[in-house]
Chains A and B, each alone.
Chain A
């Protein structure tokens, strides 16, 4: 009896300690972006992508979505091949900029699904794939003037108001990061996928971890990036060794919840 008690107490202690550690560890999140793209340390990115420790990762991810760390496969009306459109040339892709189709991302809260018109715009002049089944389906929608009932893959709860615009504006236009990398912070490596699947947790902790990192607000020499030498976060910015002013991302609750 006593030993049983002792054992369970010990196990409970381990469990609590493990969870505390897990929750305290930054979950898989993008690396602190440097001032420009060249400053990225790939090794650092890899490490950060894999999260803190395997154990904490497992615990947090298990909590979020069960044993699988990727979101469920979503059945779409047309199996859209992202890898073909956005993938690398050497792998048969066309390296189309994400924002060519998801055109609202830079100026709206939502990235948006392109109108059928846009698909047709290109595909009406690509005769070689005109008779493939998926393209036929696409034209069927177009001819019927119906919108394609795409399913949401990244569906945040209604009380979360994530802004694509701000993230694209900051990372793509103000920090000159590659588009696919920026989108990939949250969407993973879409250029290798057919139908997109959710890659990241997208839990609040996932967002918060990144917003707690001190991001540069000035370039070396004190020039404000994008004219923004101010900060929105709870904590004061700090000047690091290289003279760069760094501040947290906006991280009060009402940034997303209103």
Chain B
């Protein structure tokens, strides 16, 4: 960006989240995860390792909390004091929420993480200087830092194993931050194909994230939130969750809503792009 553009358009460039004047057009990628369907099996997380060149850090580094799983399956208990967890465990796949007003974006000194016009929170590895401010300010702690130089670490990608690396995704060296990208390489590929063919990306499985594609219970749906025909749009509408609100009208209803859609830490107003659907438990048994 030239200096002129910088001064003229800075506010525009760093738009907060879509509002009347700058709507998302034609894409806004978003997700819905049904926690009632999610079984916590970890297939999505492994698929993410396969798709996004995530390093396997090994036992010691995992013990040090330096694991690099972009998608972690969290297991919660009820902690109600009973002898057994009689209603099972609660699983939550936690990944980057691709916030519209992302706390990480504003604080990065070099603008290595920023918002794309199609509503992604992008992370530019080669711009990152490793100040780790973004992760410090992330309420979900879903950003992962390359504490070590994994490409040159023993047994991370030894010979032959490195042949599996996805050439569409940069292999990150030491000192850069990384996180879930909603499989941006797939998104850009699909957008590019659609553009070449003079159409929009279809909602028929043309574009799936790796986790969504693997998920055995199809708990994850992903798509274009501004496309009224897309499944994600319909889900968000049905659950009455609006993207750029930090308090949903349905939650104000007396007695609470019987809709399942919610977003984690919505009240903090980062406007996350992932809607979860509450898990349900039968009371008659």
Tell me the A residues contacting B by CB distance below 8 Å: 20, 23-26, 157-159, 161, 163, 165-166, 169, 208-209, 212, 226-228, 230-236, 250, 252-255, 257-258
Contact = CB atoms under 8 A, between A and B. Distances in A.
A254 B122 contact: yes
B155 interface: no
Nearest to A161: B168
A166 B192 contact: yes
Nearest to B13: A234
A258 B117 contact: no
A209 B117 contact: no
Contacts of B12: 234-235
Nearest to A166: B192
Given A24-B4, A234-B117, A258-B168, A166 B195 contact: yes
Interface in B164-206: 168-170, 181, 184-185, 188, 191-192, 195-196, 198-200
Interface string B17-49: 000011001100000000000000000000000
Contacts of B198: 226-228
B22 A236 contact: yes
A206 to B, nearest CB: 12
B188 to A, nearest CB: 7
B127 interface: yes
Contacts, number: 84
Nearest to A211: B1
13 contacts: A24-B3, A165-B192, A166-B195, A227-B198, A232-B117, A232-B118, A234-B13, A236-B21, A236-B22, A254-B181, A254-B188, A258-B122, A258-B169
A208 B1 contact: yes
A230 B192 CA distance: 13
B135 interface: no
A169 B195 contact: yes
B126 A252 contact: no
A231 B191 CA distance: 12
B98 interface: no
Given A163-B192, A232-B117, A258-B185, A24 B126 contact: no
A252 to B, nearest CB: 4
Nearest to B118: A232
B5 interface: yes
A194 B266 CA distance: 61
A26 B2 contact: yes
Given A166-B195, A212-B1, A234-B13, A257 B127 contact: yes
Given A258-B169, A258-B170, A252 B122 contact: yes
Contacts of A235: 9, 12-13
B16 interface: no
B125 interface: yes
Nearest to B199: A227
Contacts of A163: 192
A-B complex: 7 closest residue pairs judged by Cβ atoms: A227-B198, A254-B122, A252-B116, A159-B126, A230-B26, A24-B3, A253-B124
Nearest to B185: A258
A253 B200 CA distance: 21
A216 to B, nearest CB: 15
B212 interface: no
A123 B122 CA distance: 48
B15 interface: yes
A166 B192 CA distance: 7
Nearest to A226: B198
Nearest to A232: B117
A250 B2 CA distance: 16
B97 interface: no
Contacts of A26: 2
Contacts of B15: 234
A139 B38 CA distance: 60
B114 interface: yes
A258 B185 CA distance: 6
A179 B54 CA distance: 40
A253 B118 CA distance: 12
B220 interface: no
Contacts of A227: 198-199
B120 interface: yes
A231 B116 CA distance: 12
A158 B171 CA distance: 10
